Amino acid sequence: MDPAASMHSFILSMGGLVLLIVLLFLGGQLLPASFAKSVLNLDRRIIYAFVAILVFTPIIKPLGLSFAITKEVQDAYNTIEHLAPGTPIIISSDYGAATMPETHPMYIALLHQCFKKKLRPIILTMVPDGPGITSIGLRTVLQSKNPAGALNYPNLQSGIDYAYLGYKPNATAAILGMVQSFSGTFPTDYYGKQTKSMPIFKDVHSLKDVGAVFDIAAVAMPEYWVNYGTQRTGVPLAVSVTAVSAVQYYPFYRAGQFVGLVNGMKGSAEYEKLVGEEQITGQVGDATKGMDAQSVVHVFIVLSILLANLAIFVQRRTARGATA
């Protein structure tokens, strides 16, 4: 961000903070005690109902709210985009059903980008609930059609244009194994075919031979990739993580250990936008579809936090008045 924009954001943030403090102070002084009582004793199910309505409404009737591309996501996209056609890349899809809304759209968008750019993805998973979801995602992309109704990728062949290796337990051993040999670590692919005989592995013997690693993770797998794989080999590592774990990974991005960082559903929506998924399939990506609801609910949560704080201010003032 340039200095002028930084200063602008800083002034806006400080102005908002001052306004907030003034509003809280005035509200705390003027609002009656009954307000605090009703807010603080509110049945939690009413809040759940509000959240449900606010999530469901934008899904039925999209608002089309815009969102910007962040530098972390742009960097991840550029890393893959700048690879030469034919370059093999590893997609480590380490997520399960529990975090699909955040991670699966990213996986789909990344596969579209790889196939569009004629890269050769080698897909694997190191979490037990990954194989089913990952294979469904791969099938979805391979069977996807363009807006005219024709297959997007009609001539792609397993073992030549891509490889799906399936699940490998023990991430440490699996990554260390890949640093030495792919076929030794994955003797067969997900469908039981020998990897040694696959054309895709003809010039890919170990981790050093791939153009990049993209880890889509709901668990701490990026740390395994850094410690046992990419730091040893110097292969660029981009990651897509759930929003819960994103905070702990920003230092890795800042230090250059991750070349890009995609944060949760918002990051996935940004990636869908960069890849142009709507233009490829004629359908808006799942993460992009969810962004309206995400924004609306965030506003509701911020207002709820403010309201609850205001009620506490009023309650304290009332309690002070009662003791005086």
Partner 1 sequence: MTAAFNPAEMIGTWVAAILTLAMFSFLYKDNPVFKVGESVFLGVALAYGMVLAYYDTVYPQIVQKFTGDDAAHGVMLIFTPIIPMVLGIFILLRLIPRLGWLSRISFAVFIGGYSGIAVPSVIAGTLLPQLTDTMRPFGPGWVGWVTQLILVIGVFATLLFFFFSLEHRGTVGRISRVGVFFIMVAMGASFGNTVMARVSLLIGRFQFLYYDWIQHAILHRS
**For binding to partner 1 (CB under 8 A), which residues are involved?**
1, 3, 6, 45, 48, 51-52, 55-56, 59-60, 98-102, 128-129, 167-169, 172, 176, 187, 223, 226-228, 231-232, 242-244, 246-247, 251-252, 254-257, 263-266, 286, 289-290, 293-294, 297-298, 301
DSSP string, 164-213: EEEE-S-HHHHHHHHHH-HHHH-SB-TTS-BSTT-GGGSS--SGGGSSEE
128 burial class (0-12, 13-18, 19+ CB within 10 angstroms)? exposed
Considering the complex, what minimum distance in angstroms separates the CB of residue 274 from partner 1? 19
87 vs 185 by CB, closer to partner 1: 185
Distances (CA, A) of 10 to 3, 13, 15, 115, 303: 10, 5, 8, 41, 22
Minimal distance in Å, beta carbon 308 to partner 1? Answer: 14
Query: Structure tokens of 130?
Result: 């990954």
Give me the least distance between CB of 230 and partner 1, in Å please: 8
Closest C-alpha among 217, 190, 200 to residue 131: 190
Q: Which is nearer to partner 1, 79 or 288 (CB)?
A: 288
The answer to whether 172 and 180 are in contact (CB under 8 A) is no
Q: Given CA atoms 202, 206, 211, 217 in this order, what sign does their dihedral have?
A: positive
Task: State the nearest-atom distance from the C-beta of 63 to partner 1, in Å.
Answer: 13
State how far the Cα of 171 lies from the Cα of 196, in Å rounded to an integer.
21
Report, in Å, the least distance between residue 61 CB and partner 1: 11
Closer residue to partner 1, CB minimum distance, 64 or 169? 169
Choose between 121 and 290: whose C-beta lies nearer to partner 1: 290
Of 161 and 223, nearer to partner 1 (C-beta) is: 223
**Sheet with strand 212-217: strands edge to edge:** 163-167, 120-125, 88-94, 212-217, 237-241, 260-263
Give me the least distance between CB of 68 and partner 1, in Å please. Answer: 16
Q: Are 167 and 131 in contact (CB under 8 A)?
A: yes
Residue recorded with tokens 């996209």: 77
Distance in Å, CB of 319 to partner 1, minimum: 25
Q: Determine the Cα angle at 207 with ends 264 and 106, to 5°.
A: 20
Residue with smaller CB distance to partner 1, 60 or 148: 60
Q: Are strands 120-125 and 88-94 parallel, antiparallel or unpaired?
A: parallel
Torsion of CA 206, 209, 210, 213, to 10 degrees: 50
Is the distance from CB of 91 to CB of 122 less than 8 angstroms?
A: yes
Q: How far is the CB of 141 from partner 1 (least distance, A)?
A: 18
Q: Which is nearer to partner 1, 82 or 139 (CB)?
A: 139
* Nearest CB to partner 1, comparing residues 101 and 276: 101
